[in-house]
Amino acid sequence: MLDIKFLRQNPELVKENIKKKFKEEKLLLVDEVMDLDENYRKVKARCDELRGLRNSVSKEIGVLFSKGMKEEAEKAKREVVDYNQELSRLEIKERDMSERIYDIMLKIPQIISPETPIGRDESENVEIRRYGEPTVFDFEVPYHVDLMESFSGIDIESARKTSGTGFYYLLGDVARVHSAILSYARDFMIDKGFVYCIPPFMIRSDVVSGVMSFADMESMMYKIEGEDLYLIGTSEHSMIGKFIDTILPEETLPHKLTSYSPCFRKEVGAHGIEERGVYRIHQFEKQEMIVVCRPEDSEEWYERLWNNTVEFFRSLDIPVRTLECCSGDLADLKVRSVDIEGWSPRQQKYFEVGSCSNMGDAQARRLAIRVQGEDGRKYIAHTLNNTVVAPPRMLICFFENNLNQDGSVTIPKALRPYMGGKEAILPKDKNC
C-alpha cells in the first residue's frame, strides 16, 4: 500500500505506474482518493478546531460561575453543546472518509521496480538465466502419476473419494522422498543463517488483508466457517504476520525466517484442477523463507533469496531457469518478482516451482511493521518472501530428471542422508 503523502506529491507518477501494469481501470481511483483526501483533511482540521474551541470554552464555564456570571456561563454551555453537535456529525464523516480512503489505497498498485520489464501478462516475462543443461533422455519418460504409481507411491482415486478432486495420497518411497526433500530444505536454509519456524496454519482477516489483495484472498483462501480465521495459502502470510504492529530496533535487522507448513488453496479462476496429477492441487506442503529488512537492503536480499532456491534445486540435479516477472504479471503489492522454473524432461519445457518477491513497504505499511533507527526515527520496513521448495508439484521434475532407463530413480547425494542412505528407489516390480 502506498503512503498517502507519496500519492499527494506524485499523482502522475502513480498513474503512470498503473498504466505500466495495464490496469487503466484503476486510474480513476487516484483522482477519487485525491479528492477524498483533500476533503478529509478539511473535515479533520475543522474537527481539531472544534475540539480546541470546546475545550477552551469548557474551561471558561467554571471561571464564569465562580465569578457569579451565570448568564455568560449558560451561554458558554450552549456554545459547547453546539460544538459537540457539529463535532459529532463531522467525526462520523471523518471516520467514513478515512475508511473509504484506506479501502481505495489498498487497490492502488505498489510502485514497481525500475528493473521490472514492461509487459501485459506472464507470456511477456523475461528469462534471466538457465542453470544446468536440460535433460533429454533417449527413452520415454512416463507421465508423473504413472511414474509415481510404478513405485506404488500415489493414490488419487482414494483421495477423490475422501476429499474430491485436487487431493492425493502419497505412499511408500514417494512419500518418503517428499518428506526427505522438506527436511533437507529445512536444514539447507538453517545453514544459510535463517531461523527455523513452524507458524500458525490459520490466520485472522486483518493479517490476510495486510499481506495480500482482497481479490487474491477470495480466489485463494479457505475461510473457517463462523470464525475470523483463514487456512493459509502460504506460510509467508503467517510469518510476516508475526511482526504485525511492532517496532523493530534497527540493530536487530534483518529478520530471516524459514518455515515449514501445509498450504491450502481454492485455485478459483486457475487453469483447472487436474483429475489425475499433482501440478495444480488444493493441498501441498512448503518450505518458505522471508526477510524483514531496511529499505536500502531489500534489493540485495531479493537477489540472495532467489539464488538460494536455484542452488537448492541444482543440488537435487534439477535444471532450472529464472524469469523476471513483467509489470502486468505482478500482483499489486509486489515491487519485483522472479519465478523459478524446473525442467520437465517429459514435456521438454520448464514449469514454475517457486517464486521470489520483493514486497517493498506494502505489507509492512498495512501491518504497521516499523523500524526504529539509532537516531530514534521510525520508518516502515521492507518485506520479502521466496519459496525454497513446494512438493508435491516439484516431485514431477525431481522424479523425471533423476529417472533411469530401468525405471529406478537415483537419489541425489544431498538427499541420501534423509533417505536412510538409499542411492536409488526401485519400481515395485524390481523390488520383487
- Residue range 15-52, pLDDT digits in tens: 999 999 999 999 999 999 999 999 999 999 999 999 99
Distance CA 7, CA 30 (A): 8
Residue 251 belongs to some domain of the structure:
yes
Same domain, 204 and 319: yes
Is the bond leading into 254 cis (omega within 30 degrees of zero)?
yes
Q: Is pLDDT of 270 > 60?
A: no
Same domain, 218 and 269: yes
For range 109-137, the mean pLDDT: 96
Distance CA 123, CA 329 (A): 9
Residue 213 belongs to some domain of the structure:
yes
pLDDT for residue 141: 96
Q: Is pLDDT of 274 > 60?
A: no
pLDDT digit string, tens, across residues 353-381? 999 999 999 999 999 999 999 999 999 99
- Domain termination residue (choose one: 53, 84, 107): 107
Residue 431 belongs to some domain of the structure:
no
Identify which has the larger pLDDT, 275 or 228.
Answer: 228
Q: Is pLDDT of 271 > 90?
A: no
Same domain, 407 and 263: yes
Buried b (16+ CB within 10 A) or exposed e, 304-337: bbbbbbbebbeebbbbbbbbbbbbbbbbbbbbbb
Q: Is 38 exposed, middle or buried (0-12, 13-18, 19+ CB in 10 A)?
A: exposed
User: Are 372 and 7 contacting, i.e. CB atoms less than 8 angstroms apart?
Assistant: no
Cell of 362: 506494502
Residue 117 belongs to some domain of the structure:
no
Q: Is pLDDT of 415 > 70?
A: yes
User: Are 286 and 234 contacting, i.e. CB atoms less than 8 angstroms apart?
Assistant: yes
Secondary structure percentages of the chain, helix, strand, coil, to 5: 45, 20, 35
Q: Any idea what the CATH number is for the domain that residue 97 is in? A: 1.10.287.40
User: Are 195 and 186 contacting, i.e. CB atoms less than 8 angstroms apart?
Assistant: no
Element (DSSP H or E) covering residue 182: helix 172-191
Supply the mean pLDDT for the chain. 94
Same domain, 57 and 140: no
For range 264-276, the mean pLDDT: 64
The residue assigned the cell 477470495 is 218
Element (DSSP H or E) covering residue 410: strand 409-410
Q: Is pLDDT of 432 > 50?
A: no
Same domain, 96 and 130: no
Q: Is 197 exposed, middle or buried (0-12, 13-18, 19+ CB in 10 A)?
A: middle
Residue 114 belongs to some domain of the structure:
no
| Strand, coil or helix: 132 | coil
The backbone region for 294, taken as left when phi is positive above 0, alpha when psi lies in -120 to 50, beta otherwise, is beta
Residue 113 belongs to some domain of the structure:
no
Q: Is pLDDT of 275 > 80?
A: no
Distance CA 72, CA 65 (A): 8
pLDDT digit string, tens, across residues 76-96? 899 999 999 999 999 999 999
Range of the domain at 409: 122-425
Same domain, 158 and 61: no
Same domain, 132 and 177: yes
pLDDT digit string, tens, across residues 42-79? 999 999 999 999 999 988 888 888 888 888 888 989 99
Q: Any idea what the CATH number is for the domain that residue 267 is in? A: 3.30.930.10
Distance CA 45, CA 187 (A): 56
**DSSP-assigned states of every residue in 196-249:** EE---SEE-HHHHHHHS-HHHHHHHPPBPTTSS-EE-SSHHHHHHHTTTTEEEE
Same domain, 310 and 418: yes
Residue 343 belongs to some domain of the structure:
yes
The percentage of residues in the chain with a pLDDT greater than 90, rounded to a whole number, is 88
pTM: 0.90
pLDDT digit string, tens, across residues 276-328? 789 989 999 999 999 999 999 999 999 999 999 999 999 999 999 999 999 99
pLDDT for residue 429: 76
Q: Is pLDDT of 422 > 50?
A: yes
pLDDT for residue 287: 97
Residue 269's pLDDT band, with cuts at 50, 70 and 90, is very low
pLDDT for residue 431: 55
Q: Which residues are catalytic?
A: 265, 280, 352, 355, 393
Total domains in the fold of the chain: 2
Distance CA 315, CA 353 (A): 15
For range 211-228, the mean pLDDT: 85
Same domain, 103 and 145: no
| Strand, coil or helix: 369 | strand
For range 383-398, the mean pLDDT: 97
pLDDT for residue 72: 86
